[in-house]
Structures are given as C-alpha cells and as structure tokens.
C-alpha cells in the first residue's frame, strides 16, 4: 500500500503513547480509538455511501469544523466529486477543486500522494490519495482551518482506510486483513447500542464525551488542566409541556448550533490557548450539553467562555413566527493539580454540583466548583423536602403590609407577603426559600395555596362589612410561563367566590423577559379576565420604558432603590420625579415602595405620587392585627 497506516493504530489503548496524545503531539485524545473503530467497521460496509459516511463521520468526530470532498476516478479516468460533507458546502468545494486543478495541485497529489497548501483564496487544505498498491482510486480534499502537521498523517491514514474499503467493495478480501485486536470493543460500536453521535443534534454522544474527558485528565500535567462545562437549559421541561416535543427538539438543535459555532471560533481558541481538537462538545442529557477541554493552561478564562456562550443565545430563537427566549445555567469544574482528579465521573460530578448552584442563584448564570459545595447541594435537597413538608402541614402564613393614598392618608390597599416558620428553626426569610421553590417548581403549588388563602381572607373581611380594597400578590416567572395560568387562578377565585378585580397581580420586569411570548399571552388573558396587572420593582431594568409601553399593565411599583436615595442623591430625585411625571401622563398609578422616613414621604407627596408603602407607614402584620389597626371603626 502506497501510504502505510501508522503502526500506532495497533497500540493498546492504555499505552503511554496514546495517553500523551492530547499533549505535545497536538492530537485528539481519542484519535486512535476512532481510527481503530473505522478499521473494525470496514468489513461490514455494503455500499460506497456507507463507506464514505463512516470515514467522514470519523473525521468530523476528530475535527468538527472539517469539510471534505471525495473525488473518485471514473471509467474515462476523469475525477468526479462523489461525496461532500457537509452537503451544503458542495458548490464551494467544487469551486475549490476547479481552482486546484487549474493550479496543478490535483495532478501533483495524484503523482506524489498528497498535496498541502494554504492560500488566501482557497484557505487551508490537504489532498490525500485514496490508493493501495494495486490502484489509485482518487483523492480526498480536506479543508479545515488551523490544521497542525500531525493531522496531515491522521487524515492520510483515513484516506488509506478509504482505499482499503474500496478494495473490499471491489472484491479484494485480502485487503481487509488486519490484526485481530483491532476488533476489540475499545469504544462502543458506531452501530451498536450506543451511537457515536446524538441523532437529534449531531453532537457527540455522552459515552464519547466521557472517554475524551478521561483521556484529557490522564494526559494533563501541570501547568495543563482538563476542564468541563455543563450547560443545562433552564425550565426546558415547560417548553415540551407547553409547545410540544417537536418544538422542544427544534429548539434543542437551534441552541446547539450557535454554541457549537462559538466553540469552533478562533476567538475562543485564542482566548483559551487551545487547539480546536482539544475542545469537545456533546449532548450529555435530554436538555444538557457538555464541553470538555484538554491541555488548558488558563483555567481563569473559563468564566469568560461561559459569559461568551451566554451572549450567543441572548437574542432567542424563532419558532413558528414567535421568538422563544431560552436561558442556560452553566457549571464549571477543572483539575487543579497532578493526581487531584483522576476520573472523568469525579470531574463531571463537580461540574454538576456547580450547575445546581447556578440554578439556586437564579438561573441564567454560571458557577465555579468550590470544594465543599456537595454539602450545599445536600442542603438544597433538604430545603426542598422542608418546603414539601410545610405544604403538607400548612406551615406557611400570610402577612399584610398596608398601602396608603398619600394625598389623604387613607388605606388604599395592601401587599400580601408569604412567611414560613419551622418548629425549632423559627422564621425562615423568603430570600432563603423562594429561590428553592422557584428552582424546583414548588412555587406553583405554594402560590396557589397563597391565592386561595387571600381569597378566604377577603371573604372573612367582607363578612364583617369592611369596605372593599385590593390585595396585591406577586406572580413568579415560573407561574407566568404556565399556559394554563389564567384558568388556574380563575378556578380558585370561582371556588372561593371572589371577583378578579379584587386582586392586583404583581410581576417583575425580569419575569417578563423570560419566554416573552407566553408571558405576554398570559398577561393579556389575565387582564381580559379582570385582574389588575402591576409591574413590580419598576426602574431597575433597562427595559422599564418598553414594559409600560408594550405590556398590558394597570400601574407600576417604583422600586425601593429609588426611594432610599431620594434625600441624598440629586440624580435619584431627578429620575424619580421624571418617572412620576411620565406615569401621570400615561395614566398609570404608582406605588412608591420602601418609604422609611418623613423626608422621603414629604418629597413623594409633594411630587404627586398617589400611593405609598413602607415601614414609616406600616409594617407587615398578620390578618388579625391588620384588621384591628386599619379596618375597625376606631382605626378609621
């Protein structure tokens, strides 16, 4: 055979040569696994398309950005392109082939076995002979940026294997005699129980991802590290539930595409100072992706990479004319020294712990692994169990903070707040249990409990002949993404005998930004049903003005950050007064939250702010105390 297959193809998988393959040689840690698997598959090939598909798939497992064109000799001795991958690049590859013919490069490759060049017009490419001792069958054109010299031999080996496969298809069984150990299951067979690539996204399978990660760990030695980033789509289960599994599959592919493109960019490779073949991207779960990196010397750049990946999906994705916004949480872990982490599953577990922490911190962010975080993850599970127990034992309670008309100092309404107390533990602040409830989805059941109790309290006050006033209840982002939200709330109100206009539903601007189309549909349905919609924490988001222009709101809650700086910051006074004037012009009532001293109260009243709330006016108290303080004849 004119081009000999490298003898390292026959080396045992555990050899030192292969363990260091990801290091100084610049080769992919699974190079020899993949080559052996190709050899093992060749005897089973029954058609030219199957043979070329195996070779192409193997090449792209090693170099994902690679393009290839296979040129075979026809009966008239002319070369014809019989295979291209990706197929969409065929016109470009044909133009490149014609250019190489004109330059004499094709003839040179047919004569000498290979031709290698890099030109501004044709890019970087390698021509490899498809040849055995009997015959030159044709050429393979490999086109890939950043190809380092060792890969010329590897791609040449794949071309030699293609020639062997052609001989086999033509009836020369002798050409397929290879050492028996090649057929050992060194990696799962491409056509076995575990496919080489995910059928939906085309990314590598989890098994291959773990093999790559294991090799990266074994070949890493200071100052080099192996690293992993686990990416999980936030709330993806709701996409399947609300839009259907077909939409979910489509969005998975749409998400994988820009992420894969980002990882293959020269910017990322320069940022991390690693070659493309040292970055491995795979689908590791239903809505989870993994990135493994070998030979990394700048672990501090992993956070920059995570932020860069977030930016690549920020604009959302179009599906059937609607823009769907997906967010991802990312967990990051890396080996920190020789012998510290020796198994892929250990590093994977550390990344998973970091991923859970990112979820707990509010999703749509990344978190680095920190030793001891396993205890935190356990604490999260305990908190989840405690919330479930609190629901079963009815341990939640409600408090009411009054809201006043600032022009008359009369009661204008109240905000309902959730509280939780557990036996010896005592009161647990909402900032501790609400994020857990949102991350687990328990917030839906808790919110339904809360609305039901609010309705019953209104009925109790109605029975006392108290003049009707609205109660404000927060609706979380998780609830707003539920397609049946309006029906569920109306069912509760109907069962308790309360009209929708008695409740003011508060939503945050950040909640609006998540799954915008579904949220907008819910808000319109809620308003049509008779609920008053209030934008909570108004002013802390860049999209505040868009919110009051686009969304069906009845009023806004001015965030306490503006109120607390009113007396000492001129810019805050100017902004706050401008917001009040704008709201008045648009016909939106405003609730100023967090009024804590007389000076703030005086300024807001002078500027015409209609409603105020805060510790100066009244602290959150339980229903009975609220009734005694504000609803009795003596209180009036």
Using one digit for the tens of pLDDT, what is the confidence trace for 563-601? Answer: 988 888 888 899 899 889 988 888 889 999 999 999 999
* Residue 221 CB partners (closer than 8 Å, separation 6+): 23, 338
Q: Under a CB-based contact definition with an 8 Å cutoff, are residues 324 and 251 in contact?
A: yes
User: Residue 193: inside a domain, yes or no?
Assistant: no
Tell which of 133, 168, 183 closes a domain: 183
**Does residue 250 share a domain with residue 126?**
no
* Average pLDDT for the chain: 79
**Does residue 560 share a domain with residue 465?**
yes
Find the mean pLDDT for residues 224-233: 91
**Does residue 396 share a domain with residue 349?**
no
Beta-bridged to residue 621, according to DSSP, are 400
Give me the domain span that covers residue 353: 206-371
Find the mean pLDDT for residues 350-378: 77
Count of C-beta atoms within a 10 Å radius of residue 104: 10
**Does residue 364 share a domain with residue 400?**
no
Coil, strand, or helix at residue 131?
strand
Nearest to 507 by CA among 553, 471, 470: 553
**Does residue 360 share a domain with residue 437?**
no
**Does residue 390 share a domain with residue 367?**
no
User: Residue 376: inside a domain, yes or no?
Assistant: no
Tell which of 311, 338, 371 closes a domain: 371
User: Residue 195: inside a domain, yes or no?
Assistant: no
Phi-psi region of 547 (alpha: psi -120 to 50; beta: other; left: phi over 0): alpha
Q: Which tens digits make up the pLDDT trace of 161-185? A: 888 888 777 765 444 443 333 332 2
Look at 278 and 620; give whichever has higher pLDDT.
620
- The pLDDT-based confidence of 634 (bands split at 50, 70, 90) is low
Tell which of 371, 399, 419 closes a domain: 371
**Does residue 302 share a domain with residue 218?**
yes
pLDDT for 614 equals 95
* % of residues, the chain, pLDDT over 90: 24
Helix axes 373-393, 442-463, angle to 10 degrees: 30
Q: Report the CATH number at residue 555.
A: 3.20.20.450
**Does residue 565 share a domain with residue 424?**
yes
Q: Which tens digits make up the pLDDT trace of 466-518? A: 999 999 999 988 888 888 899 999 999 999 999 999 999 998 866 766 567 78
Q: Report the CATH number at residue 211.
A: 3.30.70.270
Into how many domains does the chain fold?
3
**Does residue 141 share a domain with residue 104?**
yes
Q: Which tens digits make up the pLDDT trace of 508-548? A: 866 766 567 788 889 999 999 999 999 887 765 544 555 56
Tell me the torsion sign for CA atoms 486, 487, 492, 496. Answer: positive
Is the pLDDT score of 144 beyond 70? Answer: yes
User: Residue 487: inside a domain, yes or no?
Assistant: yes
Q: Under a CB-based contact definition with an 8 Å cutoff, are residues 305 and 268 in contact?
A: yes
Burial environment of residue 565 by CB neighbours within 10 A (0 to 12, 13 to 18, 19 or more):
middle
pLDDT for 116 equals 63
User: Residue 167: inside a domain, yes or no?
Assistant: yes
User: Residue 424: inside a domain, yes or no?
Assistant: yes
User: Residue 593: inside a domain, yes or no?
Assistant: yes
**Does residue 399 share a domain with residue 347?**
no
Beta 471-474 vs 503-508: how paired, if at all?
A: parallel
pLDDT for 365 equals 86
Look at 136 and 182; give whichever has higher pLDDT.
136
**Does residue 225 share a domain with residue 150?**
no
**Does residue 396 share a domain with residue 356?**
no
Cut 0.75: pTM above it:
no
User: Residue 2: inside a domain, yes or no?
Assistant: no
């Amino acid at each position: 055979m004119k081009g000999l297959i490298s003898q390292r193809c026959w080396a045992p998988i555990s050899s030192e040569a292969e363990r260091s393959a990801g290091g100084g040689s610049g080769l992919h840690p699974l190079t020899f696994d993949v080559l052996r698997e190709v050899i093992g598959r060749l005897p089973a090939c029954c058609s030219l398309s199957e043979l070329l598909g195996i070779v192409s798939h193997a090449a792209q497992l090693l170099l994902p950005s690679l393009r290839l064109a296979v040129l075979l000799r026809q009966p008239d001795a002319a070369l014809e392109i019989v295979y291209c991958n990706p197929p969409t690049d065929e016109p470009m590859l044909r133009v490149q082939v014609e250019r190489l013919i004109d330059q004499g490069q094709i003839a040179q490759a047919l004569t000498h076995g290979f031709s290698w060049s890099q030109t501004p017009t044709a890019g970087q490419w390698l021509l490899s002979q498809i040849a055995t001792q009997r015959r030159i069958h044709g050429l393979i054109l490999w086109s890939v940026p950043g190809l380092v010299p060792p890969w010329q031999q590897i791609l040449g080996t794949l071309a030699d294997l293609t020639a062997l496969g052609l001989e086999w298809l033509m009836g020369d069984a002798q050409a397929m005699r290879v050492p028996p150990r090649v057929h050992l299951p060194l990696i799962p067979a491409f056509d076995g129980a575990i496919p080489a690539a995910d059928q939906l996204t085309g990314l590598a399978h989890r098994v291959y991802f773990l093999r790559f990660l294991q090799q990266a760990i074994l070949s890493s030695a200071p100052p080099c590290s192996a690293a992993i980033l686990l990416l999980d789509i936030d709330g993806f289960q709701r996409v399947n539930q609300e839009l259907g599994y077909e939409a979910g599959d489509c969005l998975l592919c749409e998400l994988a595409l820009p992420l894969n493109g980002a990882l293959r960019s020269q910017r990322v490779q320069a940022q991390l100072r690693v070659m493309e073949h040292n970055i491995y991207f795979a689908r590791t779960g239903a809505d989870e992706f993994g990135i493994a990196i070998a030979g990394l010397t700048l672990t501090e750049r992993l956070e920059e990479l995570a932020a860069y990946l977030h930016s690549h999906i920020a604009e959302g994705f179009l599906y059937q004319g609607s823009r769907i916004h997906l967010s991802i949480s990312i967990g990051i872990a890396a080996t920190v020294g020789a012998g510290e982490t020796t198994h892929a599953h250990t590093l994977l577990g550390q990344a998973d712990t970091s991923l859970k922490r990112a979820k707990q911190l509010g999703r749509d962010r990344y978190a680095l692994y920190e030793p001891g975080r396993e205890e935190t993850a356990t604490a999260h599970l305990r908190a989840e169990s405690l919330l479930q127990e609190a629901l079963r034992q009815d341990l939640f309670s409600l408090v009411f903070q009054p809201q006043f008309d600032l022009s008359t100092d009369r009661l204008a309404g109240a905000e309902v707040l959730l509280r939780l107390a557990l036996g010896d533990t005592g009161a647990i602040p909402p900032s501790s249990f609400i994020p857990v409830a949102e991350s687990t989805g328990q917030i839906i059941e808790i919110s339904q409990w809360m609305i039901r109790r609010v309705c019953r309290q209104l009925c109790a006050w109605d029975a006392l002949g108290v003049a009707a006033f609205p109660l404000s209840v927060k609706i979380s982002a998780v609830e707003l993404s539920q397609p049946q939200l309006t029906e569920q709330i109306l069912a509760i109100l109907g069962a308790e005998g309360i009209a929708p206009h008695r409740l003011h539903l508060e939503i945050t601007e950040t909640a609006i930004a998540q799954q915008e189309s579904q949220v907008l549909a819910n808000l319109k349905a809620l308003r049509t049903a008779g609920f008053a919609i209030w934008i909570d924490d108004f002013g802390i988001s860049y999209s505040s003005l868009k919110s009051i222009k686009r969304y069906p709101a009845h009023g806004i809650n001015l965030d306490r950050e503006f109120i607390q700086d009113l007396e000492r910051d001129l810019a805050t006074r100017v902004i706050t007064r401008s917001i009040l004037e704008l709201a008045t012009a648009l016909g939106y009532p405003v609730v100023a939250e967090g009024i804590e001293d007389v000076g703030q109260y005086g300024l807001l009243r002078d500027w015409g702010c209609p409603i105020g709330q805060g510790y100066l006016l009244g602290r959150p108290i339980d229903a009975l105390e609220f009734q005694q303080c504000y609803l009795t004849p003596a209180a009036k």
